[in-house]
Structure 1
């Protein structure tokens, strides 16, 4: 499991780096399933990440993360990275301004 944190100015709700990941995943011209972190508390965000990972999603994009949400995801990573359900999982977090 890998967690990448992007910082910078948001443009149209997504950082340029998050947009580049979306393009690389093949969602050019359409929306990738991006989680809007502002809709969740820290625990709620972890729950949706677990649901997406259990459903087989290997790259998860999360926009507008607070500092606390990012810290919680990094803490969660250290707790679950040894579990096979999270092998090959990459979580891309875009920090809000």
Structure 2
């Protein structure tokens, strides 16, 4: 291939006159994998992870703890999704109904 990657397969790169996997010996970060793209490589987040724009690190998509969710939500540890906390939701509804009943009598 003589330094011309176009002579290699789409997922290979020309290095030292040989077509090789561009991910060979590449170490991506935590929760990342090496992906061959157009005669080059790219480190991408594993499924279930998303790149944090501030830290540039692949972080779990969604929540890890209840603190990551809204005030009436809790974190589902299996799906890493914030879901409405039925306990808080029903308490809030009952409080609103009680408040409405009291205000309507004024």
TM-score tier after normalising by the smaller chain length: under 0.3
The structure, 1 or 2, with the larger RCO (C-alpha pairs under 8 Å, 6+ apart) is: 1
Structure having the larger proportion of residues in strand: 2
Structure 1 or 2, whichever has the larger Rg, is 2
Give the TM-score of the pair, scaled to structure 2.
0.17
Give the TM-score of the pair, scaled to structure 1.
0.18
